[in-house]
Structure 1
Amino acid sequence: MNQQVIVAGGGIGGLASALALARQGVPTVLLEQAAAFGEVGAGLQLGPNATRLLSDWGLSDALEACAAFPEVLRVRDAHRGTDLGQLRLGAMALARYGQPYATLHRADLHALLFNAVQQQGLTEWRLDSRLASFAETPDGVSATLDDGNLLTGKALLGCDGLWSRVRSQLLGAQGVRASGHLAYRGMVRAGDLPLALRAPVVTAWLGPRMHVVHYPVRGGEWFNVVAVVHGVLGQGHGGEPGSDPQGWSHEARANDLQRAISPACADLLAMIEAVPGWTLWALNDRPAMAGAHEHAQGRVALLGDAAHPLRPYLAQGAAMAMEDAWTLGRVVEFAQKKGDWPRLLAVFAQTRWQRNAQVQQHSQRNGRIFHATGLVRWGRNTAMRLLGERLLDNPWLYNGPPEPERPPVLSPRARRAA
């Protein structure tokens, strides 16, 4: 398929898309607005649904080399320190889902995908390049860049994040939705933690109007720590009033965070105090997807956060972007007419939108449950103690992603007629 596809955005979703298409022989030109490829941020979690894709792409060994594989998800009360419930991971995740549960640094996942795309050899890299606008033509897409240069391709994939320019032109200007939550993030060496906090465990601390999650990355040598609290940038939480809402991170002050989670138990405070520095960003999203038209129209498709930004309460942001990319690759693989991009993207959109909407809805619901107060908090804690793993596990999610429909097998005569 010598039909170039334009991919706007060089993050995890964009690289995964280029990889999935390259594996089907489809060349891409990938636009990245930064002057060098790389990934900001700290850690992320990959459930079995995501590690299944890396395995299918032949990247399990690369994942093994850079990730950690926690033994358990442990939920604790942020104020009292008591255990609320747990979900066995490790060998149990392998037994249940056939794939591991992994935690790793975002930069490591980005590098893993970048190296895989380079090895395929079908991607042209355009650094310091950002799409300004696009236009569909009868047989392709024309993209204008910020510097005035023009690119043409058979299709355009918008993998350019929450503030996507591709989305704005495809669906019209739509403001993002402020969650009223702020995320503090930091990294700490495992050797700088008390022994009790170095275990290969994902720990989630739940408290009124806040929660904290920490887990090992980089083979357990570091821990990623994320604390989510209610608040506004510049109002007692770092940054300056009017800070750029599109900014990924702002300077944060540890005492602001300690005040926001107070009163915290000794173990949680020990973890917070061990982190040498914090950055901060405001959490924004959009309403859950309402139909396939929000994923693709004609020769243009949106993937990852450009289509379905997620609040981080189900740990599925990177996974859903990768699922989108994998599904598109499968649609191309199964297609009987490989070059019909409007049809290919329509099948992709129909396959993906409902699952992505469901994950968006579950993420929003989890945020309300994590930060519950009063009787709702009491009911949550009681349910976790009584139901344990049945409440914390997500078979509907981890058994995915769903395969796109395969077209019926045609006889040679029918194929010639088609």
Structure 2
Amino acid sequence: MTNKVVVAGGGIGGLACALALARAGVEVDLLEQAAAFGEVGAGLQLGPNAVRVLHAWGLTEALYASAAFPEALHVRDAHSASPLGHLRLGAMSRAHYGQPYATLHRADLHGLLLEAVQHERRVHLHLDTRLAGYEEGPTRVNVTCENEATFEADALVGADGLWSRVRAEMLGAQPARVSGHLAYRGMVAAEDLPGVMREPLVTAWLGPHLHVVHYPVRRGEWFNVVAVVEGMLGRGHGGPPGSDPQSWTHEARQADLLAALGPVCQELKAMLDRVGEWKLWALNDRTPLASAAEHAKGRVALLGDAAHPLRPYLAQGAAMALEDAWTLGRLAETAGDAPDWPRLFARYAETRWQRNAQVQARSQRNGTIFHASGPLRWARNASMALLGESLIDNAWLYSGPPEPV
């Protein structure tokens, strides 16, 4: 009797899934379409829920070697620089949730997961191998790839992102939803910033139809900067946003960003001016999950962005992928040497779908609140002033992940 799973996708979610399943005694064939493992992007934030997963996998030391741990989140007005809200992180996060709030470069998280996976003898890595399709039988799943490689396994996990081929076969073709928001991303060396701007903080600047976030990464040696504005990519960028999943990042001009932002306060402008190079993403997502059937079906399951792509306004994209993987690992641990994979995946879907749908919906709502103008902007500012940290904290989220049902 074999116990093997194919995981499609070698990003953060795919590596996390392979690691969790291998630790539970499952053989894994991990398929990565690129010629080398790597991660596109800049920084990301990991709430205590995600750090809890990494701790459970014994990766705390690796995380501390590459991450920064901000002391607080400051919310400010992008135009006036006035403080709007504040949330203590650091020691307060450890006291409330047992784990810190971390910020790090995407490549560093990907790298520490890859190193952990490479030490697992049950994981077999296949580069230049992109899933073309699959056939599900009564007891097996047969996977075919573009390079003509074939794999036979007990189950398949699609961790192949927003443009997932596994999802398309499992649920049918469903176009992604264009948000109309553009994200400019860049990095600044801490040594190039004035002392006051090097403080270990997550700072969110809010303005009508825009927001900017910056925070330390790589042990505080760099700062990640993300500016989100409302607009669409023009034809000069090669077609509609997301039309080519292989080219989802574009060179961006600072002049375009500053024109989209309009007049901003001096402190924010100083941070933006120090970014040497900008990359541009068009933000796409899908409607929130409506049922467990959208997360898994028979011997096939979806994980991370393949199941529930998120807008970045709750900083939980990577975290939800890690939680998905952790849940699969927990279920596989208790399933014995010959899991009933359809039953296991059904439990996984029941555990995950409502939480992921809530995070999707909350992320979308936050985008509306962040970019508010008029009466909604006034109500947002008044609420943060009145309710303080209780409005910004997310105990329901940071206390996770929930145990499998």
The residue identity in structure 2 corresponding to 1:294 is: E
CA distance in 2, matches of 1:89, 1:334: 35
1:148 CA displacement: 2.1
- The question of whether the paired residues in 1 share the 8 Å contact of 2:25 and 2:333 is answered with no
SS, match of residue 139 in structure 1: coil
Partner of 2:111: 111
- The question of whether the paired residues in 2 share the 8 Å contact of 1:332 and 1:338 is answered with no
The residue identity in structure 2 corresponding to 1:171 is: L
Task: Determine if the alignment matches structure 1 residue 88 to structure 2 residue 88.
Answer: yes
Task: Determine if the alignment matches structure 1 residue 321 to structure 2 residue 321.
Answer: yes
Over residues 44-94 of structure 1, what are the superposed CA-to-partner deviations in whole Å (9 max), with x where a residue is unaligned? Answer: 000000000000000001100000000000000000001001000000000
Distance 1:348 1:337, change over 3 A: farther
SS, match of residue 44 in structure 1: strand
The residue identity in structure 2 corresponding to 1:239 is: H
- Runs of 5+ consecutive residues of structure 2 not aligned to the other structure: none
Partner of 1:390: 390
SS, match of residue 119 in structure 2: helix
CA distance in 1, matches of 2:240, 2:45: 31
- The question of whether the paired residues in 2 share the 8 Å contact of 1:239 and 1:252 is answered with no
1:248 CA displacement: 2.2
Aligned residue pairs: how many? Answer: 403
- The question of whether the paired residues in 1 share the 8 Å contact of 2:178 and 2:241 is answered with no
SS, match of residue 400 in structure 2: coil
CA distance in 1, matches of 2:281, 2:232: 10
CA distance in 2, matches of 1:31, 1:13: 12
The TM-score with structure 1 as length reference comes to 0.95
SS, match of residue 323 in structure 1: helix
1:241 CA displacement: 5.1
CA distance in 2, matches of 1:267, 1:398: 30
1:149 CA displacement: 2.2
Task: Determine if the alignment matches structure 1 residue 239 to structure 2 residue 233.
Answer: no
The residue identity in structure 1 corresponding to 2:195 is: L
CA RMSD of superposed structures (Å): 1.2
Partner of 2:133: 133
- The question of whether the paired residues in 2 share the 8 Å contact of 1:369 and 1:377 is answered with yes
The TM-score with structure 2 as length reference comes to 0.98
Partner of 2:100: 100
CA distance in 2, matches of 1:289, 1:242: 24
SS, match of residue 311 in structure 1: coil
- Runs of 5+ consecutive residues of structure 1 not aligned to the other structure: 406-418
- The question of whether the paired residues in 2 share the 8 Å contact of 1:239 and 1:251 is answered with no
- The question of whether the paired residues in 1 share the 8 Å contact of 2:160 and 2:166 is answered with yes
CA distance in 1, matches of 2:110, 2:13: 9
Distance 1:172 1:243, change over 3 A: closer
Partner of 1:344: 344
Partner of 1:258: 258
Identity over aligned pairs, percent: 66
- The question of whether the paired residues in 1 share the 8 Å contact of 2:200 and 2:220 is answered with yes
1:197 CA displacement: 1.1
Partner of 1:177: 177
- The question of whether the paired residues in 1 share the 8 Å contact of 2:39 and 2:106 is answered with yes
1:239 CA displacement: 3.1
Partner of 2:142: 142
Larger mean Cα displacement after TM superposition, 117-126 or 1-10: 1-10
1:382 CA displacement: 1.0
